[in-house]
Amino acid sequence: MTPARSAQTVVDSSARANGAQRRAAWSRTLRQWHGISSAVCLAAMLLFSLTGITLNHAAQISSRPAVTTLTATLPDAVLRSVRAAADEQGALPPALRHWMDAQWSLRIGLRPAEWSDDEVYLSLPRPGGDAWLSVTLDHGRIEYERTDRGWIAYFNDLHKGRNTGAAWGWFIDVFAVACVIFSLSGLLLLKLHAAQRGATWPMVGLGVVAPLLLAIVFIH
């Protein structure tokens, strides 16, 4: 073997070795991202997958809402605080919130209420149900009603982000980003190993084409 050919062989071997090292480093990095994102997504992905089934078959899942109604007459001191707060047109006064917490174990926070000349009304939507509260300003009659549609409805509303608050909304955003990382890192790992697995790209193509065909052909 001539010296020039021998040198070229060494260069080619070194290039192949460097390429293999870079490939291995990329594979390790992608596996780490794939593993971390899968751990972050695990519980939420199970939740959203199961509630996807229950939402898709909501008409076949029957439930009987449970309605709870509470009524009372406010003490004079509490009623006076409610009447005094009517001019501010904001949240319910602290005296009323403390009374509800002590008497009914209800914590309603600082949600803005709807004030009129003779009544204050507060809507209290919640996942899996609904609730409302009203107080008559003349007689001090307070009425609270809560509707509970069950655990399936509760988790379905979590899936939709319905009446779940800002914290859950942020969680859905973080979960969505983690799912994107999980999917893209998985796709890149498939690309790295596609040469040894002939069915890789046909399966990826099926995963892309099948929902498109279903949407085009069957959804109108």
> Does a structural domain hold residue 44?
yes
The per-residue pLDDT of the chain, averaged, comes to 86
Q: Give per-residue pLDDT as tens, 63-114.
A: 889 999 999 999 999 999 999 988 888 899 999 999 999 999 999 888 899 9
Structural domain that includes position 184: 26-62+159-197
pLDDT for the residue numbered 9: 55
> Does a structural domain hold residue 11?
no
> Does a structural domain hold residue 204?
no
Q: For 10-18, what is the mean pLDDT?
A: 57
Listed residues 110, 125, 149: the one ending a domain:
149
Q: Is the overall model pTM greater than 0.85, yes or no?
A: no
How far apart are alpha carbons 1 and 22 in whole angstroms? 30
Say if residue 121's pLDDT is above 70. yes
Q: What is the number of domains present in the chain? A: 2
Query: How far out from the chain centre does Cα 8 lie?
Result: 58
Q: Give per-residue pLDDT as tens, 40-55.
A: 888 889 999 999 999 9
Strands (E), the chain: 66-73, 114-115, 119-123, 129-136, 141-148
